[in-house]
Structure 1
Amino acid sequence: MSFPDNTVLQSFPATLNHRNATIFTANRTDSSAQQAIEDLIDARLQLRDRVSAPLKGMENDLFAKSQPLDSLRPKLRVTFGRAKRDGAFDWPVEEVINTLGAQKRGAPVAGLYGFGYRKSALGLIQEFFIFTEMLDGHLNGLTWLKRERNIQNLIHVSFNLLHALHSKDIVHMDFWANNVMIDPQQPTRAKAIDLENCFLTPTDHLTEVLAFQFGFYYRREIFRFVIEHDYDRLVFEELGKYDGIDRRRFDEIYALSKHENISRRARREIFHKGTVVTG
């Protein structure tokens, strides 16, 4: 397999081979990690669903994702390092590139431990694996909210995390409460996860991107816990942290993003062109 950036594989020089799978890690795996990864590969031989869960046998250390590639086109793209027509790579490749890039910048994200793939008899990648740090003790935003019952605190923690990402030129386009991981002992030090729908460059359309991000955060479950007017007030206060925001344009896209579905492909249009397509 190849990446558009050859430093990705250089950052993970250690390899683990098991059956028809190859796993790349930054350092040589210890015996418990190796056994847990091999057990996952063995279990996946008979399964075709997507997995996103702690790595069995290492619940306190690693989180594993496994994604089968079900059709020929993604198998070819991932195997040969090709992008889709819109310039994006398939989600596992995007997540590896973005997570590693964010990690290198010291951004508040779950660190990337390794990744790999399982090949078919024809030599095409048919399943992709990603391993990240477990963030032991952390809770996702909605779980933390059930425990603390303080929606304003959750919103403040999330908005601070979003600003920290922007300060590192990381634009997370799937930013919602469950992608905010909070340490109850240090709730102000949250981390972001699931960076497959993310950009590692600043946008020329910050107004439109922020309008989408704040609107999307409200639409994904938060609207159930806060009065819209109160949420708007918190958003407008938060905008003071950002320079050059066009409030007329912001208000237009923000209102759409709070109440309309915006697909992942359409989010790329917001980042690249500042235009919004709903539906």
Structure 2
Amino acid sequence: MSFPDRSVLLNFSSTLTHRNATVFTTQGADDSTQQAIQNLIDTRYQLTDRVSAPLKGMENDLFAKSQPLDSLRPKLRVTFGRSKRDGTFDWPVEEVLNTYTAHKRGAPVAGLYGFGYRKSVFGLIQEFFIFTELLDGYLSGLEWLKQERDIRSLITASFKLLQALHSKGIVHMDFWANNVMVNLAQPGLTKAIDLENCFLTQTEHLSEVLAFQFGFYYRREIFRFVIEEDYDQMVMDALGNYEGIDRSRFDELYALSKNENISRRARREIFHKGTVTAR
């Protein structure tokens, strides 16, 4: 594999090989971890579904994600380290790069333990694996909400997390309740997950980006649990933590984001241009 950022590979210098798979980790895997990774690889042959679950059969706490690459073009791009036409990489490469960088900056995210791939007989990568810290003692936002039924606390903690990510130069464009992990012992402590749809630089269109993020957070399930006017007031209170917000630019896109589906490609347009095409 030709990885687009060689400096990342240097920090994952331990290599585990099994069948047609190669996994890079930050440190040498102990016997339990190695066996669990090998078992995962063994179960993935002939499967086309995506796995996103704790790694089974081990004492160490790791979370595993794997997904087959579904067509020739992504297989070629990932194998040879190429980007798409819009400059992004396929989701597994984006997630590795973003998670590694965010954690290195001290952002509140799960740490990256390792990543790897499984090749076909033709030498092309056909499946990608990502292993992160298992957030033991945490629940996703919606699961936590089912237990505690405290929507205001969840929204407050999520908005605090969003601001913490921005302070580290991490712009999460898939920020919704299930990508917010809540600490059961201290619900005010949260971590973000699923960073494949993130930017690692500041935007010149913060008003529009925040409008999308707050609107999207509401649209993805939260609208079911809160009165819209109450949510709007919490958003306005949270906006006071950001400088230079243009309310006219914010309000228009915020209203749109609460009510319309905005594709991932359109989210890139928001970040880069401050405009959007709703779909």
Q: Give the letter aligned to residue 123 of structure 2.
A: G
Give CA deviations for 1:203-242 in whole Å, capped at 9, x if unaligned.
1110000000000000000000001000000000000000
Q: Give the letter aligned to residue 187 of structure 2.
A: P
Give CA deviations for 1:108-150 in whole Å, capped at 9, x if unaligned.
0000000000001111000000000110110000010111111
- Once the two structures are superposed, the pairs formed by residues 23-42 of structure 1 within 5 Å of their partners are 23-42=23-42
Q: In the alignment, is residue 97 of structure 1 matched against residue 101 of structure 2?
A: no
Contact 1:138/1:181, CA 8 A, preserved across alignment: yes
Q: For 2:255 and 2:157, how far apart are their aligned partners in 1?
A: 22
Q: In the alignment, is residue 276 of structure 1 matched against residue 279 of structure 2?
A: no
SS at match of 2:251: helix
SS at match of 2:5: coil
Q: For 1:259 and 1:3, how far apart are their aligned partners in 2?
A: 38
Aligned to 2:76: 76
Count of aligned residue pairs for this structure pair: 279
Q: In the alignment, is residue 118 of structure 1 matched against residue 137 of structure 2?
A: no
Q: In the alignment, is residue 154 of structure 1 matched against residue 154 of structure 2?
A: yes
Q: For 1:117 and 1:85, how far apart are their aligned partners in 2?
A: 23
Structure 1 gaps of 5+ residues are: none
Q: For 1:174 and 1:109, how far apart are their aligned partners in 2?
A: 14
Following TM superposition, the consecutive aligned residue runs of length 4 or more in structure 1 with deviations greater than 6 angstroms are none
Cα RMSD after superposing both structures: 0.8
Aligned to 2:53: 53
- Once the two structures are superposed, the pairs formed by residues 222-237 of structure 1 within 5 Å of their partners are 222-237=222-237
Measured after TM superposition, the shift of residue 5 of structure 1 is 1.7
Inter-CA distance 256–59: structure 2 relative to 1 (3 Å threshold): farther
Aligned to 2:209: 209
Q: Give the letter aligned to residue 273 of structure 2.
A: K
Q: Give the letter aligned to residue 17 of structure 1.
A: T
Aligned to 1:109: 109
Q: For 2:143 and 2:51, how far apart are their aligned partners in 1?
A: 20
Aligned to 1:194: 194
Contact 1:209/1:271, CA 8 A, preserved across alignment: yes
Measured after TM superposition, the shift of residue 60 of structure 1 is 6.0
Give CA deviations for 1:40-67 in whole Å, capped at 9, x if unaligned.
0000013111111111113760110001
SS at match of 1:27: coil
Q: For 2:23 and 2:217, how far apart are their aligned partners in 1?
A: 34
Q: For 1:236 and 1:40, how far apart are their aligned partners in 2?
A: 46
Measured after TM superposition, the shift of residue 27 of structure 1 is 0.1
Aligned to 1:130: 130
SS at match of 2:214: helix
Aligned to 1:239: 239
Contact 1:102/1:109, CA 8 A, preserved across alignment: yes
Aligned to 2:3: 3
Q: For 2:69 and 2:83, how far apart are their aligned partners in 1?
A: 15
Contact 1:63/1:132, CA 8 A, preserved across alignment: yes
Measured after TM superposition, the shift of residue 187 of structure 1 is 1.3
SS at match of 1:241: coil
SS at match of 1:57: coil
Q: For 1:86 and 1:262, how far apart are their aligned partners in 2?
A: 17
Q: Give the letter aligned to residue 251 of structure 2.
A: D
Give CA deviations for 1:216-275 in whole Å, capped at 9, x if unaligned.
000000000001000000000000000000000000000000000000111011011111
Aligned to 2:171: 171
TM-score between both structures, scaled by the size of structure 2 = 0.99
Q: For 1:183 and 1:94, how far apart are their aligned partners in 2?
A: 26
